[in-house]
Chain A
Amino acid sequence: MGYEGFPFIIGWELTLTCNLRCRHCGSTAGSPREKELSTEEALSLCDQFPALLVQEVNFTGGEPLLRDDWTLIVNRLAHHGIKSKIITNGLSLAPDTIQRMKDAGIAGVGVSLDGLQETHDYIRGHKGLFQNVLEGIESLMKAEIPATVITTATGLNIDELPEIMSLLQRIGIRHWQIQPIFPTGRSQAATDLRLTEEQYLNLGLFYQRYESEGRKNGFEILPGDSFGYFTALDNREPPWRGCPAGLYSCGITSHGLIKGCLSLPDDVVEGDLRTNDLWDIWFHPDSFRYTRGFASDRLGPNCRSCSKSEQCKGGCSTMSYGSTGLFHNDPFCFLAMERRETEAREASVSSMTRDTCARGLS
């Protein structure tokens, strides 16, 4: 029996063109890719979605709003009854753009905010952007377009999270997604942005402390990918069940390549839409082997001996592959980190005991 699931959610990199050069960008966005899909190709791709039961398309980039034909694409999807959402850096959120979003029936906009003013502008390499983003969010809210703020948690902003949260609550934001930084693209060189193990655990503590309190007040904190797993720091229900790439979601690059997830490096590709259509790529028996063909003997050394590995399948594919070059081997795991912490403590106690005994004997 072949695979019998569908790509209900698609991430679509409309263009790799970007008007920023963010230090943490996993896609190394800036210039467009060679031979990005034409308008005609993009619209034709939209027409392939209904048969695959696609329900929602999330446009990313680069900066998706820099592509002139985004409204045509959104309208074509709307014609098929498919929801569109846009993730933007906020620099292009001018009033006329927001009106076009409203007219096109955009279901939601994700706006990136990676710190308080100084940090955000530094990470994004654009002075004054923080203020632009806040104004853009305000305009989105006035237009009654659902807005989610997306923060990439890094070594530079981890201590600012409580203040960012207060700010977002003050301006009326209801949804805040926090995504731990991936070691891919430009962030590979930005060592100051990487999260240490301690900072990663602090991120979990932050979530644990504020998530339920926020929810009671109508403010939702949404952990992104590679956040967990299986400790009190992440008690989501249902618990994490493994990477969905190629199971019910996939990504499309701006030049028509299919990936399980757009955050994965460009060498993890399943097919080319200029050679095969999405149906054939999606249902090809060799596609998405790393998730569809998961078996416990594929677990990497970080996860092999873990009792939860059958359930989480070795964590986030992007974090795992980006950090270790292997799938099913995610080193950013609360459970593993807490175990390591306990083992280190026990080793230290045991060593102290040995020293004390040795001194006693001598």
Chain B
Amino acid sequence: MGIPRFNVKFAAVDWIVPFWWKVAYLIINEGIRDIADKFKNPIDERFNKVVTTHLKAYVDGNKMPPAEIAPAIMNLADDFAAGRQMCLRAGDYIAVQNYMRKNKE
């Protein structure tokens, strides 16, 4: 199965991840969600850069992301293709951070 292509050019990257609270999407404890909604700190720039780079490469250049973060990038790409607000799942966030830590990005 080929990688899906998108008609819309992936240009407006600013709105990718300045919404850290979406990370709380898959959290286990209900109480965390209440707390998470109160906080608004942005995700750090290095993280944004890594996600943006791989997402853009996948959407625009049809380039498969590294295996460790492929689900995370493809989930975001799915949101993008469906016209939904992109939502970063907690597990995906952790996977990207682990990838960055492993590769010292």
Chain A residues in the interface with B (C-beta under 8 A): 1-6, 8-9, 50-51, 53, 55-56, 80-82, 238, 241-242, 244, 247-248, 279, 283
Contacts and interface: CB of A to CB of B under 8 A. Distances in A.
A4 B27 contact: yes
B86 interface: no
Contacts of A81: 41-42
B31 A247 contact: yes
Contacts of A283: 94
B39 interface: yes
A277 to B, nearest CB: 9
Given A8-B39, A50-B41, 4 more contacts: A5-B28, A8-B36, A238-B31, A248-B29
Given A51-B44, A51-B47, A53-B20, A241 B31 contact: yes
Contact of A2 (B41, B42, B94): B94
Contacts of A55: 39, 41
Interface size class of B (residues with CB under 8 A): 20 to 34
B41 A53 contact: yes
Given A51-B47, A238-B31, A247-B31, A279 B101 contact: yes
A6 B23 contact: yes
B34 interface: yes
B42 A4 contact: no
Nearest to B39: A55
B91 interface: yes
A236 B69 CA distance: 41
Interface in B31-52: 31-32, 34-36, 39, 41-44, 47
Contacts of A244: 29, 31
A4 B91 contact: yes
Contacts of A82: 41
23 contacts: A3-B28, A4-B90, A5-B27, A5-B90, A50-B41, A51-B97, A53-B20, A53-B23, A53-B41, A53-B43, A55-B39, A80-B44, A238-B34, A242-B31, A244-B29, A244-B31, A247-B29, A247-B31, A248-B29, A248-B32, A248-B35, A279-B101, A283-B94
A107 to B, nearest CB: 12
B26 interface: yes
Contacts of B39: 8, 53, 55-56
A8 B26 CA distance: 15
A123 B72 CA distance: 54
B43 to A, nearest CB: 8
A260 B32 CA distance: 15
Nearest to A244: B31
Contacts of A238: 31, 34
